């Protein structure tokens, strides 16, 4: 089978993916990065990492689009994305564990006030702040997909009082799980720390705006590990400046890379990460891709398919 590899990769990243995929793909499958017209006509699967819009047009035999990214919002926004071709997102337990580690670090740093101590070090100031137990810190996890579920579980195992919210009903051991729009305001009002892991859809775009910030506990922390477009950035800055929010840990931004002049870079109450909360691990992700390609070869059901109407 001929397979297209398309994405916005750094050169070293593309080499790493080529090596990992070549080692994992079914025998006889061929990976092409710059196919000519005759080769495009034979391509049956595309492995993609946010490819430039239109990259998947003109592939008449395409039977599977496999994303190397967990979130497929950018792919779905491409008007040239072939309709009717199954689209699978990346679901890799190694990525979910990495996400759980990042969330745990951010929640620990907020709960134990390590970001406040970092600010004090800049002054410099030697001053002990009040210390609370983990079970006294209410953490709300928004989104209970693979990533949100792993995060909620890890935080609960570390003793936090975790509540989680999802659009549809879901369960996680040791976590108070709520669903539906009506449950969200009370959950947010009760949380010391909110961790966002929602998929980006029309319903969740701009969710974190001035109104939602005003519903949150005064001084609460926000950890956004999902998509920048979930947050109205000007409203977040206003909420931080007013003390309504205490600190924000942001891995994702409306514009990436975050422009050098953006206020987040230098804001004392913002911690910026360059979209690294859970990088796709080429070694484990290549095995996930190979499982789906084997399924395609054998005519078995494909895994991790996206519901395009739902958006994830």
Strand partners, 67: 48
**CB 236, min distance to ligand GLV, A:** 19
**CB 242, min distance to ligand GLV, A:** 30
Residue facing ligand GLV at closest CB distance: 71
Binding residues for ligand GLV (CB under 6 A): 69-71, 90, 280
Q: How far apart are CA 61 and CA 55, in angstroms?
A: 15
Strand partners, 48: 6, 67
- Would residue 125 show up in a list of annotated catalytic residues for this protein? no
Q: How far apart are CA 44 and CA 63, in angstroms?
A: 5
Tokens of 229: 């477009």
Residue with the two structure tokens 């792919």: 75
**CB 241, min distance to ligand GLV, A:** 28
Strand partners, 47: 5, 66
Distance of CA 176 to the CA centre of its chain: 22
**Is 71 or 143 the residue whose CB approaches ligand GLV more closely?**
71
**CB 90, min distance to ligand GLV, A:** 6
Strand partners, 64: 45
Could you say which of 111, 113, 153, 227 is catalytic? 227
- Would residue 304 show up in a list of annotated catalytic residues for this protein? no
Residue with the two structure tokens 């740093």: 109
- In 3D space, the residue among 216, 225, 223, 224 whose CA is nearest the CA of residue 185 turns out to be 216
**Is 217 or 275 the residue whose CB approaches ligand GLV more closely?**
275
**Is 58 or 228 the residue whose CB approaches ligand GLV more closely?**
228
**CB 252, min distance to ligand GLV, A:** 7
Tokens of 83: 């309709």
**Is 90 or 286 the residue whose CB approaches ligand GLV more closely?**
90
* Contact partners, residue 204, CB within 8 Å, separation at least 6: 198, 230
CA distances from 230 to 87, 92, 102, 208 (A): 23, 23, 19, 6
Tokens of 311: 């958006």
**Is 244 or 280 the residue whose CB approaches ligand GLV more closely?**
280
**CB 200, min distance to ligand GLV, A:** 9
Could you say which of 275, 287, 294, 304 is catalytic? 275
User: What one-character DSSP code corresponds to residue 54?
Assistant: T
**Is 102 or 244 the residue whose CB approaches ligand GLV more closely?**
102
Element (H, E) at 55: none
Q: Which residues are catalytic?
A: 227, 275
């Amino acid at each position: 089978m001929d397979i297209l590899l398309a994405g916005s990769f750094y050169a070293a990243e593309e080499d790493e993916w080529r090596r990992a995929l070549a080692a994992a793909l079914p025998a006889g499958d061929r990976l092409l990065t710059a196919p000519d017209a005759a080769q495009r006509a034979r391509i049956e699967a595309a492995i993609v990492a946010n490819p430039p819009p239109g990259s998947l047009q003109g592939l008449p035999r395409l039977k599977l689009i496999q994303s190397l990214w967990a979130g497929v919002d950018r792919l779905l926004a491409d008007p040239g994305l072939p309709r009717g071709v199954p689209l699978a997102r990346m679901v890799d337990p190694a990525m979910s564990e990495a996400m759980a580690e990042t969330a745990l670090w951010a929640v620990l740093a907020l709960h134990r006030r390590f970001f406040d101590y970092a600010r004090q070090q800049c002054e410099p100031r030697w001053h002990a702040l009040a210390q609370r137990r983990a079970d006294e810190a209410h953490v709300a996890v928004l989104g209970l997909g693979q990533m949100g579920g792993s995060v909620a579980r890890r935080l609960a195992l570390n003793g936090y009082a975790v509540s989680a919210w999802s659009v549809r009903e879901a369960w996680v051991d040791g976590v108070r799980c709520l669903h539906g729009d009506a449950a969200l305001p009370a959950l947010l009002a009760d949380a010391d720390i909110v961790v966002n892991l929602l998929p980006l859809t029309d319903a969740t775009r701009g969710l974190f705006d001035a109104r939602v910030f005003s519903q949150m506990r005064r001084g609460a922390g926000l950890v956004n590990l999902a998509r920048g477009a979930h947050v109205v950035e000007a409203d977040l800055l206003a909420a931080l400046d007013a003390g309504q929010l205490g600190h924000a840990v942001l891995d994702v931004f409306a514009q990436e890379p975050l422009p050098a002049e953006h206020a987040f870079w230098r804001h004392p109450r913002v911690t910026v990460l360059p979209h690294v909360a859970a990088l796709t691990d080429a070694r484990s992700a290549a095995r996930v891709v190979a499982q789906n390609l084997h399924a395609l070869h054998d005519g078995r059901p494909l895994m991790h398919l996206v519901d395009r109407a739902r958006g994830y």
